[in-house]
């Protein structure tokens, strides 16, 4: 089980922001911005490169979830960044697709 599966199963604690039957959003334990939340599908998709056509709906709902989470955390209007890491060179550390929502300060480009 990945750390995200353990959070979903409530085997380890997390600061949960929002949740539905399909996804859960919680604060990152190593935040890179004042607002840093992970939005994770409850069904395991190892990474975006492994997503299938049958994952299309949940992938869309993750993006729509970012609106809800950004609104709840007060960054909807000021702006935020969504990041999906894929593979080792992409910065992926947990093999369970997740969307990083970062905000609460100006974010530089390129991200590094």
Which residues are annotated as catalytic?
98
**What string of DSSP letters covers 21-42?**
SSEEEEE-SS-SSSEEEEEEES
Contacting residues for 9 by C-beta, under 8 A, at least 6 apart: 1
- Neighbouring C-beta atoms of residue 50, cutoff 10 Å: 12
Contacts of 83 (CB under 8 A, 6+ apart): 99, 100, 102, 111
């Amino acid at each position: 089980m990945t750390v995200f599966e353990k959070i979903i199963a409530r085997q380890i604690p997390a600061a949960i922001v929002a949740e539905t039957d399909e996804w859960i959003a919680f604060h990152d334990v190593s935040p890179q911005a004042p607002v840093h939340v992970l939005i994770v599908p409850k069904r395991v998709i190892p990474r975006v490169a492994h997503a299938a056509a049958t994952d299309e709906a949940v992938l869309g709902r993750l993006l729509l979830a970012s609106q809800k989470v950004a609104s709840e955390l007060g960054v909807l209007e000021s702006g935020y960044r969504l990041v999906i890491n894929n593979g080792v060179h992409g910065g992926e550390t947990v093999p369970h697709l997740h969307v990083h929502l970062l905000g609460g300060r100006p974010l530089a480009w390129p991200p590094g």
